[in-house]
Amino acid sequence: MSYTNPSYIKMKDFDQSKSRLSSKYSLYLYRELGVDKMPQPDGIPVIFIPGNAGSYRQVRALAAGAAEMFRDEYQSNLLVQNLDFFTADFNEDLAAFHGQSLLDQAEYINDAISYILSLYKRNTKAGLPIQHYYPHPESVMIIGHSMGGFVARTMVTLPNYKLDSISTIITLATPHTVPPLSFDSDLVSVYDNVNRYWKNSFANVIKNQNPLASLSIISLAGGNLDYMIPSEYSVISPVIPATNGLTVFTTTIPNVWRSIDHQSIIWCDELRKVLIRTLFEVVDIRANSKLKPVTKRMKIFGKYLLPGIENIFHTNSNEPVSSYSSNSSNKEDVPEFKSSSTDSSANDELLLSSQEPPDTILIIDDLSKTIVPPSDTLRLSRLGATNKRGHSYLLPIPENGSKVLSILTDQKVLDPLSNSVVDPQNINLAHLTISSLDGMVKDNTARGLYLFACTLPENYMATGTYLSMMDVSSENYESQIRTSLICKSLAQESVQIPSSKLTVLDENLDHDAAESQNQKSISFSYLQYETRNLKPYKFIIITDTNPQGLEGFITAEISGKSDISISLKTTIWDLFWLGIKIDLRNRQSIMMNISLNVPLCSLFSFKLKQSGEKYNTKDEAIPLTGKLAKSIGTIHEPLFLPMIRQYTMNGHESKFHLNMHNSRNQHVFFHNVAPYTPFQEGESQNLLGLQIWSDNIGGINADNFQELTFELDWLSTMGRWLMHYRTALGIFPFPIVTFIILIQFVYYNSTGIFISFNDGVSIFLRKLLVWVLGIASILTWAINTSIARSIFYFIEPSLYSNMGEETSLYSSKFGTINRKEFFLGIDEPALWFMGPLFVVVAVGIVIFLDYGVTIIINLVARLMMTLSKLTDNFDGEGFSCDDGTRIRQGDREQYFNPSKLTTVRRLTTVGVLLISVITFIPYQFAFVVACTVQVIAVIKEQFRLLKPEYGKMEAGLSVLACGKSSTKSRNFYNYSFSILMIMLCIVPINVPVLMVWVHDLTVRWKTPFTSHHNLLSVLPIMFLVERTTRRRMIPQMWKLSQVQFTVCMLLYMSSYAFIFGMMHAYWLHHLVNFFSAWLLFIYWGAGKRPTRDSDVSENILLHDKILEAAE
């Protein structure tokens, strides 16, 4: 973070005449004091949208950095203008909890865009003739943090969106594919509608055109340090094709190379510099949009946000990264984007062919060249040449196409096209002579390192245009035979990776400090080709024109493809119990590529261990037998320290582990296919990759990298499960509670005894738990079978039409898009134990909740009892078992007995609350009030039970002596307690929306709360609570149909919560509401089943026997 001098100018003209939400939100223009000279906008509009509970002031890091960068670097560029950052003040609105708030924000920003664009008029660029007028902006760029990014995507779906008014969207840690919470039906609906609209648009199913064709979107994910949302939710490839969208993890971005937490991603200095530079590079003020065309934009985004190494290694990629990577050529045209490739080599390695003609003529002689035998490795520990012009190292390209060329250096590879320039000339290569070139060479070659793919003129029968000529022959070339070579510069194909080299090998330097030190050093340049893609070239030439003795290194080799690649097929069980051991003792290549197949790797964390001897850091010289090496002086240390890159085949995620000599154990996290996220089916969804760079030449560290062990990190894996399934802790207890209530009702209908919730838990653990665990273990891996889906669609028919629509519309454009949204969102048989595990956790939560609520209720009831004894002058005499209460002088029972409330007061209270739900408050507020009332009712009922029990203990009476009245009181307490438990299970589902409403009240917004006023969503619950406050016990159901319906309803509620609860949690409230309506029907229409008074004692004894058997 850097120092800023912010100024926020409120756009007061943007009032309610321009947006109906102007009384709720505000719009500001940011100006950096001392840098921005004009208070009014004069550049290119950019809108920053804060995230959930975010502040408009968060824009200052990006806006201040843009102002400073424009002043220091781009002010002299006549085709670039400053960026005007606007930001919206949403008063820290909670859009992640409330779908209507999200829609309001999107509508407001759409109105703000129209207003912002109206502020700009035609203006000229200083220094250009007056006739060079530029059009005023007709679109804006948007940067959205967290939910602000999804607000930006929602904007294009609204009626007030103006077509093409948004040119580029950049999102930071935004959950694109899955809502952060599924507690609000509006939020879930907005996510479904927005993602469907975007996929429809790019599938060309909306009026045979794509309204988003000119819009580009970049999604940046923070990686494993983002604990707010899983970074897999930020992947947009299943929704937006690579022609317009790109997902990048911050660990992949050059010069960032690290994970960033949810909040820091806004102001991280390394990231904001890259992001701001990228924005300036896509600017073209001559266009109406003020930006380059979308294809060029995507190419620039790839250049600055991707290192380019994914071009070399990623196979079967769903996104054609080679189309816009950092190592693409500087040509204006952009290759056509493809959604997939059937030829893996097209994405596997870079291609050089006759379609990319030579661009450089290189002149060498015998004194200025060294030919490296194919079986040897070029290893230079010092750079520079005795020849003033330079020295060239020739690696012959084998005819066998299965070989792979690898080059690694700590130097930047220079481009001869920008350093040694000649006038373009058409030359007949068949008649090329040295004498004809002598007059053309303009020897202003910059000192540095050059890479070429070259061939002899007679091997390249064509006529070409050459922009560069380099003469690195010896100065006394008259005595030597000079050779001219036709070459293609490889400078654009070299990729940037972080350096892993310390000047001094410090054994006490920890891994984090080593990485921090490496961030300050120069990056490495790496290049790899499969030799069959180098035709028609015959040599790879490394030309070193550095001054002699320069500190630096370069190493290059040509290896067999099988020697550098390891493909391992493993199972999750192998990772769980055995781990994966990779033997590297007989592999001494510069780079090793290891492919692993790990299903659902996003759910796991791994430990990467290396074994071997420590590095040699002593002063004795180390022989380099059997290898070609050139060095100045004695070698005392390796060229570089080992480093490992982890990556996924889907998406753009890479992470480098540097300085492996000090940190033997590396924590490895992958973000690939995750539960509940859409993905494109294929083998690549489970493929993981590890690349290992090490200096295993000449014995320097041949013993250091002997073996790698890849094993599961259980503790960290548990943390990742908690990250993905934290909402399950609030959802899965619900079906357990419904099972227990089912047991209570069945037992009550049979015996007339409504057993306690604790007794129901005991019976559930003994009789039903094993069945629930078995079903959960089957559901874990069977959710994706056709039979299971048919059953699920029967439970929730609305999902069938959505699934069918996705399959038919998007398969041709996006491939087969799948989404595991049932139960735990996984279908891997080896993970069958996860279902039972979460059931056990849910049972534990229910037991903890049962005991916790019971303890609190008893403590409060006993406190009330103590206060009652103090206020009523209790003397311990007099009992009455007929109605379960005491009769004594000065008794103030009426203050604790809710049944004595008048009918008028009850109806008035309920009526006022219901009218408020219709007009002002959300039904969630009424539910929380009802839940509070139910808590009070249960406490009071416990108070009644404690008072006679206290007296009976004093008198030495038995429980059965109280007879029928005492049993009814206990039945009613148990029943009320169970109703309270199921209400407590859905309190977390209702609280987020209630928080939004309370937040709206605190900021005194005049606009009404426009959602969640459905009276029927809470009316049955309120009437049920009203019945319990009047101490009305649910009657027994003597009709078989009523019993069957009750059982089916409770089983449906449990099944729905398990299968659909994670993605449709809001439905659990409605299920409880339906169940409450059914109980009211039982109250009013069940009739009475005659019961003899003599049955009471028998039922109590039967109850005790059943509990004894259960225990």
Position 260 scores a pLDDT of 94
Binned at pLDDT 50, 70 and 90, residue 637 comes out as low
Q: Which of 152-166, 563-577, 1048-1062 has the lowest mean pLDDT?
A: 563-577
Phi and psi at residue 858, to the nearest 5°: -65, -40
Position 353 scores a pLDDT of 42
Higher pLDDT, 1052 or 204: 1052
Q: Which of 207-216, 599-608, 612-621, 666-675 has the lowest mean pLDDT?
A: 612-621
Q: How would you write 974-1041 as a 3-class SS string? A: HHHHHHHHHHHHCHHHHHHHHHHHHHHHHCCCCCCCCCCCCHHHCHHHHHHHHHHHCCCCCCCCCCHH
Q: What angle do CA 237, 241, 244 make, to 5 degrees?
A: 110
Higher pLDDT, 813 or 76: 76
* Rounded CA separation 131/463 (Å): 42
Position 598 scores a pLDDT of 76
In the predicted model, is pLDDT for residue 696 greater than 50?
A: yes
In the predicted model, is pLDDT for residue 522 greater than 90?
A: no
* Rounded CA separation 783/314 (Å): 30
Question: Which tens digit of pLDDT belongs to each residue from 801-849?
Answer: 454 444 444 444 555 556 778 888 887 788 889 999 999 999 999 999 9
Once rounded to an integer, what is the mean pLDDT over residues 788-809?
A: 59
> Is 277 exposed, middle or buried, given 0-12, 13-18 or 19+ CB atoms closer than 10 A?
middle
Binned at pLDDT 50, 70 and 90, residue 65 comes out as very high
Question: Which tens digit of pLDDT belongs to each residue from 485-508?
Answer: 888 888 888 888 888 875 443 444
In the predicted model, is pLDDT for residue 145 greater than 70?
A: yes
Higher pLDDT, 405 or 872: 405
Binned at pLDDT 50, 70 and 90, residue 879 comes out as very low
Of 989, 1025, 983, the closest CA to residue 853 belongs to 983
Position 780 scores a pLDDT of 81
Task: Work out the widest C-alpha separation in the chain, in whole angstroms.
Answer: 130
Render the burial of 573-595: b for 16+ CB within 10 Å, e for the rest.
ebbbeeebebebeebbbbbbbbb
Is 926 within 8 Å of 1018 (Cβ atoms)? yes
Q: Which of 441-455, 736-750, 843-857 has the lowest mean pLDDT?
A: 441-455
817: enclosing H helix or E strand: strand 817-819
Of 156, 188, 157, the closest CA to residue 169 belongs to 156
| C-alpha R_g of the chain | 36
Token pair recorded at residue 380? 């230079």
Once rounded to an integer, what is the mean pLDDT over residues 14-33?
A: 92
* Rounded CA separation 457/471 (Å): 16
In the predicted model, is pLDDT for residue 518 greater than 50?
A: no
* Rounded CA separation 767/765 (Å): 6
Position 732 scores a pLDDT of 95
Question: Which tens digit of pLDDT belongs to each residue from 849-861?
Answer: 999 999 999 999 9
In the predicted model, is pLDDT for residue 975 greater than 90?
A: yes
Question: Which tens digit of pLDDT belongs to each residue from 257-302?
Answer: 999 999 999 999 999 999 999 999 999 888 888 899 999 999 999 9
Once rounded to an integer, what is the mean pLDDT over residues 126-144?
A: 71
* Rounded CA separation 50/89 (Å): 8
DSSP 3-state assignment of 484?
strand
Once rounded to an integer, what is the mean pLDDT over residues 568-587?
A: 76
**Catalytic residue (choose from 101, 146, 289, 323):** 146
* Rounded CA separation 306/313 (Å): 13
In the predicted model, is pLDDT for residue 131 greater than 50?
A: no
Q: Which of 61-65, 950-954, 1093-1097 has the lowest mean pLDDT?
A: 950-954
* Rounded CA separation 408/588 (Å): 14
Bond preceding residue 6 cis, omega within 30 of 0: no
Q: At what angle do helices 269-281 and 294-305 cross, to 10 degrees?
A: 150
Binned at pLDDT 50, 70 and 90, residue 51 comes out as very high
| Bridging pattern class, strands 524-530 and 378-383 | unpaired
* DSSP-derived secondary structure letter, 831: G
DSSP 3-state assignment of 34?
coil
* Rounded CA separation 1079/1094 (Å): 28
Highest mean pLDDT among 534-538, 608-612, 1033-1037: 1033-1037
Position 813 scores a pLDDT of 53
* DSSP-derived secondary structure letter, 45: E
Token pair recorded at residue 954? 């004093």
Q: How far is CA 1007 from CA 21, 25, 920, 1003, in A?
A: 8, 10, 11, 11
Percent of the chain topping pLDDT 90: 37
Question: Which tens digit of pLDDT belongs to each residue from 242-254?
Answer: 889 999 999 999 9
Residues 6+ apart with CB under 8 A from 87: 8, 27, 28, 30, 47, 48, 49, 50, 56, 57, 58, 59, 63
Is 761 within 8 Å of 847 (Cβ atoms)? yes
Once rounded to an integer, what is the mean pLDDT over residues 1055-1060?
A: 92
* Rounded CA separation 566/577 (Å): 22
Position 373 scores a pLDDT of 86
* Rounded CA separation 305/247 (Å): 10
Domains and CATH numbers, the chain: 6-305 (3.40.50.1820), 360-615+624-723 (no CATH), 842-872+881-889+901-1110 (no CATH)
Q: How far is CA 613 from CA 61, 579, 586, in A?
A: 46, 21, 15
Cα first-last separation, the chain: 62
> Is 302 exposed, middle or buried, given 0-12, 13-18 or 19+ CB atoms closer than 10 A?
buried
* CA–centroid distance for 345 within its chain: 29
Token pair recorded at residue 952? 């009976």
Of 130, 125, 115, the closest CA to residue 43 belongs to 125
> Is 462 exposed, middle or buried, given 0-12, 13-18 or 19+ CB atoms closer than 10 A?
middle
Beta strands in 472-509 (DSSP E): 483-489, 495-497
Sheet holding 83-89, edge to edge: 6-10, 26-32, 83-89, 44-49, 140-145, 166-172, 216-221, 245-249
Amino acid at 452: F
In the predicted model, is pLDDT for residue 415 greater than 80?
A: yes
Once rounded to an integer, what is the mean pLDDT over residues 718-731?
A: 91
Position 313 scores a pLDDT of 45
Position 966 scores a pLDDT of 74
* Rounded CA separation 255/414 (Å): 19
770: enclosing H helix or E strand: helix 769-782
Of 708, 765, 718, 716, the closest CA to residue 740 belongs to 765
Q: Which of 703-717, 774-788, 960-974 has the lowest mean pLDDT?
A: 960-974
Question: Which tens digit of pLDDT belongs to each residue from 899-944?
Answer: 444 567 777 777 888 888 888 889 999 999 999 999 999 999 998 8
Q: Which of 232-236, 659-663, 884-888 has the lowest mean pLDDT?
A: 884-888
In the predicted model, is pLDDT for residue 888 greater than 80?
A: no
Percent of the chain topping pLDDT 70: 73
Binned at pLDDT 50, 70 and 90, residue 1018 comes out as very high
In the predicted model, is pLDDT for residue 874 greater than 90?
A: no
Higher pLDDT, 693 or 37: 693
Q: Which of 490-494, 513-517, 843-847, 1051-1055 has the lowest mean pLDDT?
A: 513-517
Query: Could you identify the residue written with the tokens 């009384």?
Result: 23
* Rounded CA separation 80/283 (Å): 6
* Rounded CA separation 478/661 (Å): 50
In the predicted model, is pLDDT for residue 352 greater than 70?
A: no
- Chain-wide mean pLDDT for the chain? 78
Higher pLDDT, 607 or 755: 755
Is residue 146 annotated as part of the catalytic site, yes or no?
Answer: yes
In the predicted model, is pLDDT for residue 726 greater than 60?
A: yes
Residues 6+ apart with CB under 8 A from 569: 597
Position 1086 scores a pLDDT of 59
Once rounded to an integer, what is the mean pLDDT over residues 127-149?
A: 77
Q: Which of 138-147, 453-462, 619-628, 955-964 has the lowest mean pLDDT?
A: 619-628
| Bridging pattern class, strands 378-383 and 550-560 | antiparallel
Position 1107 scores a pLDDT of 53
Amino acid at 227: Y
In the predicted model, is pLDDT for residue 351 greater than 70?
A: no
Binned at pLDDT 50, 70 and 90, residue 871 comes out as low
Once rounded to an integer, what is the mean pLDDT over residues 355-366?
A: 78
Amino acid at 1032: R
Token pair recorded at residue 781? 């891996």
